[in-house]
Structure 1
Amino acid sequence: MRILILGAGAVGGYFGGRLAEAGADATFFVRPARARLLASRGLRIDSPAGSLVRDVKSISDPGALAPFDLVLLTCKAYDLDASLNDIAHAVGPCTTILPLLNGLAHMEKIAARFPQARLWGGVARISAALDDDGAIRHADSFARIDFGARDGRADALADQLAELYAKTPVIAAHNPNILREMWDKLVFLATLAGMNTLMRALIADIMATPAGERLINQMLSECASVARAEGFDFDEARVAQHGDSLTKRAANMKSSMLHDIEHGAPTEGEHILGDLHARARQHGVSAPLLEIALTHVRAYEVRRARR
């Protein structure tokens, strides 16, 4: 199985690096500067689950690509259009595409661009960052990836991918209910990022205010209501579990959306909050707090563009 990983940042570098560690035929498509760094220093992962320094194959010229068996997309949502252009020559009629982006809005766009390919759903869970020196810093030992056909059918290639990851510290699951898994993460992430950016604070700081817990639960309830309207079951027990995770495990976690705002960078606001709000309107679901959070991020993007 020939695998192309688009990007060698925190997500692509970690999950792609572990594939290389397992002996997979893995190639990274990266910008020239990143390719030079990989060539001179190797792919470096600093992780409590096991650090890694490894020489890897990389390509920077889109014209040099030929069809791969599997393409992992690990770009940011705002880079998706350019990324799909870059990998065009890597996608053939026998190619499977595994996007590890947050949210769901990218699925229709990828399917429309590459109708000849198989498109899996995917969810990556990891707390990692790309350091200034090019190394990937893994915050803890946890890293999980779920993937599978959107219709839940068995897939031999997915089983092969799971077997490769079984040789590494990554928890990998060939998930027959991957769309449900993607919605599960979207509800959690939209609540976390929406509250982080709206209040410009961590969940722990918001919880310390008189109305903080009530507003967090309201945002969570709105996001879960959208998922229900889309046909995905979110019972009260699941909502409570998400609430518990937000106020405990994620209490001091900074969403990438807040990090981007603090650094004057583009955000995935439209891809996460905007898509969820559009679905709420489509189904007639009341989501006032989600709309306020989205407007806050949109106003930031307007101000950023004006600069």
Structure 2
Amino acid sequence: MLIAVIGAGAVGCFFGGMLAKAGEEVVLVGRKRHVDVIQAEGLRFESRAFDMRVDIGATTDPAAVADADIVLVCVKSVDTEDAARQMLPYLRPDALVVSLQNGIDNAARLEAALERPVIAAAVYVASEMAGPGHLRHHGRGDLIIGMAPGSQIVAKVFSHAGVPTVASPDVGAALWGKLILNCAYNAMSAIVQLPYGQIRDVPSANAAMTAIVAECLAVARAEGVTIASDAASQVDHIRGTIPLGQQSSMAQDFAQGRPSEIASLNGEIVRRGAALGIDTPANQVVVALVELLEKGRGVSGG
């Protein structure tokens, strides 16, 4: 099988690298600064267990999806429709498209743009691009994917590559759980530019995360999503989930001068809360702070 990965950032390079390392034929479609290095030297895949160069295809041309059996979409939420437009002329009718993205509606947005089914996935991996063509993996690397035509094939391919993958009939709840985790921690790490280990022991930060999570839970439940635990339990779960040395993906975006995904994370809670008549002041403050910081840095599009 040929697997194309749209978005050669930390998520795309991790899952693409794991698949290529297991012997699958993989091509990464990404930014020139990464592609040039990967073409010349391979993908440097650094983890706790190994540090190696992975032989993997790389290009800046979205036409690389033309022969792909599986297409993994790993771009930022803000780039979802643009990625769909770039892929659309080349996709095979029988190609399986999988959304490996933050947020809760990217698969639906891809389906609308591509006019074809898309498999949704909740992604749990702590990784970063430490330099051009250099992936650094901090922890986890598992998936929950939706039950859809082709999902068992995708799960089998990932599992063979050492990526724990579960196909779930309720992937929506998993996506909401991941959204809540991101809302609690992602923006806070970006604003203060600190890893989670230096945030979690500050009582006021924990109180703020608990308030953010409580609002997320209120919105989720109003939309009919079943999440059994309360805000304090959710924050306890987060404390045990995120590697202590890990900065959030949004913090990495800030450091690189890239637009953040704030609109698809805390901003999504604010929008949905407003539509439901639910106040979300903690999430609103986080959105305002991130957008003001981006404006101060001359970054737009988050």
The CA distance in 1 between the partners of 2:169 and 2:54, in whole Å, is 33
Normalised to the residue count of structure 1, the TM-score between the two structures is: 0.85
Distance in 1, matches of 2:80 and 2:3, equals 19
Aligned residue number for residue 144 of structure 1: 142
Partner of 1:279: 272
1:104-253 correspondence runs (5 A)? 104-115=104-115, 117-140=116-139, 142-149=140-147, 153=148, 155=149, 157-197=150-190, 211-235=204-228, 237=229, 239-250=231-242, 252=244, 253=246
Instruction: Specify the alignment match of 2:59 in structure 1.
Output: 59
User: Which stretch has the larger CA shift, 185-194 or 161-170?
Assistant: 161-170
The 8 Å contact of residues 63 and 90 in structure 2, kept in 1 or not, is answered as no
For the residue of structure 2 that corresponds to 1:124, the secondary structure is strand
Match of 1:138, SS?
A: strand
Q: Distance in 1 between matches of 2:240 and 2:247?
A: 13
Read off the aligned partner of 1:266 and give its amino acid letter: P
Percent identical among aligned pairs is: 24
Which moves more between the two structures, 182-191 or 128-137?
128-137
8 Å Cα contact 2:186-2:250 kept in structure 1: yes
Q: Give the C-alpha shift of residue 33 in structure 1.
A: 4.1
Post-superposition shift, 1:3? 1.8
Does the aligned pair in 1 maintain the 2:214–2:230 contact within 8 Å? no
Gaps of 5+ in 2: none
Q: How does 1:1-150 map to 2 (within 5 A)?
A: 1-63=1-63, 65-66=65-66, 68-115=68-115, 117-140=116-139, 142-149=140-147
Task: Kindly indicate whether the alpha-carbon contact (under 8 Å) linking 1:98 and 1:122 is maintained by their aligned counterparts in 2.
Answer: yes
TM-score (normalised: structure 2): 0.86
| Distance of aligned partners of 1:264 and 1:35 in 2 relative to their CA distance in 1, 3 Å threshold | closer
Alpha-carbon distance, 1:189 to partner: 0.9
Quickly say closer, same or farther: Cα 1:281–1:246, change in 2 above 3 A.
same
Q: Which runs of 5+ in 1 are unaligned?
A: none
Q: CA deviation at 1:207?
A: 5.5
Q: Which amino acid aligns with 2:273?
A: A
How far residue 17 of structure 1 moved from its aligned partner, in angstroms, is 1.6
